[in-house]
Amino acid sequence: MSDLYLGLDASTQSLSAIIIDLDTRKVVYDISLNYDEILPHYGTKNGVLDHPDPQIVHSPPLMWAEALDVLFDKMRTEGITLGNIRAISGSGQQHGSVYLKTADTLSNLNPSKTLVENLSGIFSRDTSPIWMDSSTRAECDEICDVLGGLQSTASATGSTTFERFTGPQIRKFYKTQPDAYNNTAHIMLVSSFMASLIAGKVAPIDHGDGAGMNLMDIQTRIWHAAARDATAPDLSHRLPSLAESRTIIGNVNPYFVDKYGVNPNAQALVWSGDNPNSVIGLGLIREGLVAISLGTSDTYFGTMKNCQTDPRGEGHVFVSPTGDYMTLICFKNGSLAREAVRKSHGLDWDGFSQALQSTPPGNDGKIMLPYFEPEIVPNVLKPCVHRFDLDEQDTAGNCRAVVEAQMMSMRIHSEWMGVRPSAIYVTGGASVNPEILQVMADVQNCPIYQFEVTNSAALGAALRAAHAHLNTSGQNTTWENISKGIAEPISGSVVNPTKTAVYDELIKKFAECEQIALGK
């Protein structure tokens, strides 16, 4: 019988599971259950509750727990040999928080009842603020001021304070609901809450997800005393311990053994956030490997050995499950900007590609700053498209300018890492466009590989489970061995740089144009 490893992902809209068989290097089970569809009685839309204030975005933690029951029941009824699972880990949407009155129930779950029935009355707060919540600007400013400002906060915790981060959310809870805060014994993340259910005890928060709270010292990987005290009083005994991503909490909760037939000796690992898990699921296991997701927003994931933080506070630094550091930089004007240019010139995507083909690398010095929507990196509050030596009616010039701008912005705004990419794995809708990939390769001066991604966070969790189980059982293995044949780019998909010198010059002009546009 093959040894199987289960990775779960409690994302915003769904609970996913991937089971891998390392002997065959195959994913043997892959499923995603949409909360709105399987649990309509919670009244969520896209996994979140409606609220009259659009800045407040919460989800019910009971929904995530009930989805676990639905998932394990489905795996059992579909004939998955849960008795062969050797280890379980998982991923949770980063920054969401869960508030419990007590954790005593976790070790005494009754398998004749559902998780919802078992957890009745356990919460001091019925709903969980998640990463989409933007209602804590005042609390962000308060914490940031105590820690000495933007640069000091980023240097201490890995990121400056952001509305979605957990520390400011905890502070708002303490300020607005002091009685409920005082009635809270345990504050968990989505990841550690779900891990606590699987393990039957309060799970630690791993370093990767802890780094997304504005509460962990990014260098020492312990709770940052000043940040903790600036957040809320008596917080230290409400937070669980911090732990490495490979930490095994214990054997799986007997609830899942008795109810669903899970292997009683299966190891329950700490969970991590979706971004750290995706680093593993995308194979970013050594310094210099980068993944770029070309989606509605464009996202840049990078791996680095030494901790560097962004003095401008634009990028985030988390801890990778490998023990290294990872960065996440989000550019809001991704496909939003590419589509705006395409539509404004009446092109389909083939026409857009032809426009790129018809223009020279460097675009004869024509520059666009494509802030069609407020931008995150760099921080631009109001939409405004800037053109330098570029006519708005120049169809081909505008098509090339928007793509070159996006790639040069990524290069400029990742320089604080101190690590140039040696290879880039690219995902997302635009990753099928060879002309866009060629611009990326030339600007970044490194090979680009297409990466086919399905549930990268769940896959990363399954690989983490395998890595921890094998190493704790004496079968020492490396991340390279774990990832081989599973978390690798599409064979033969490489796009090599051909025209790099022109961008080494153009990027200087682009940086100057950006400073002008930002009023600097």
Rounded Cα distance, 422 and 447, in Å: 7
Residue 520 has what pLDDT?
80
Region 433-449: mean pLDDT is 97
Partners of residue 9 on adjacent β-strands: 16, 91
pLDDT in tens, 29-61: 999 999 999 999 999 999 999 999 999 999 999
Residue 453 has what pLDDT?
78
Rounded Cα distance, 158 and 156, in Å: 6
Instruction: Please enumerate, as own/partner, the contacts of 404-407 that have beta carbons within 8 Å and a separation of 24 or more.
Output: 404/362, 404/363, 404/368, 404/439, 404/443, 404/503, 404/506, 404/510, 405/367, 405/368, 405/369, 405/370, 405/510, 406/298, 406/331, 406/333, 406/334, 406/337, 406/338, 406/370, 407/439, 407/440, 407/443, 407/444
pLDDT above 90 covers what percent of the chain? 97
Cβ contacts of 505 within 8 Å, gap of 6 or more:
362
Region 196-216: mean pLDDT is 98
Rounded Cα distance, 235 and 99, in Å: 12
pLDDT in tens, 488-498: 999 999 999 99
pLDDT in tens, 413-439: 999 999 999 999 999 989 999 999 999
Q: Which of 488, 206, 428, 213 is nearest to 320 (CA)?
A: 206
Is residue 325 within 8 Å of residue 319, measured between CB atoms? yes
Region 179-194: mean pLDDT is 98
Residue 143 has what pLDDT?
98
CA angle 510, 512, 516 (to 5 degrees): 115
Residue 232 has what pLDDT?
98
pLDDT(1) > 90? no
User: pLDDT grade, residue 253 (50/70/90)?
Assistant: very high
pLDDT in tens, 69-114: 999 999 999 999 999 999 999 999 999 999 999 999 999 999 999 9
CATH 3.30.420.40 boundaries in the chain:
4-277, 283-452+490-520
Cβ contacts of 275 within 8 Å, gap of 6 or more:
94, 208, 212, 301, 318, 326, 328, 457
- The pTM of this model reads 0.94
pLDDT in tens, 459-500: 999 999 999 999 999 999 999 999 999 999 999 999 999 999
53: amino acid identity, one letter: D
Q: Which of 409, 357, 367 is nearest to 391 (CA)?
A: 367
CA angle 436, 440, 445 (to 5 degrees): 150
Residue 400 has what pLDDT?
98
Rounded Cα distance, 307 and 132, in Å: 27
Beta strands 423-427 and 26-34 are: unpaired
Supply the mean pLDDT for the chain: 96
* φ, ψ dihedrals at 376, nearest 5°: -85, -45
369: amino acid identity, one letter: L
Beta strands 272-273 and 85-92 are: parallel
Residue 2 has what pLDDT?
84
pLDDT(287) > 80? yes
Query: Which numeric CATH code is attached to 283-452+490-520?
Result: 3.30.420.40
pLDDT in tens, 365-382: 999 999 999 999 999 989
Cβ contacts of 59 within 8 Å, gap of 6 or more:
12, 44, 47, 48, 49, 96, 127, 128, 130
**CATH architecture of the region 4-277:** 2-Layer Sandwich (3.30)
User: pLDDT grade, residue 145 (50/70/90)?
Assistant: very high
Which residue would you say has higher pLDDT here, 296 or 363? Answer: 363
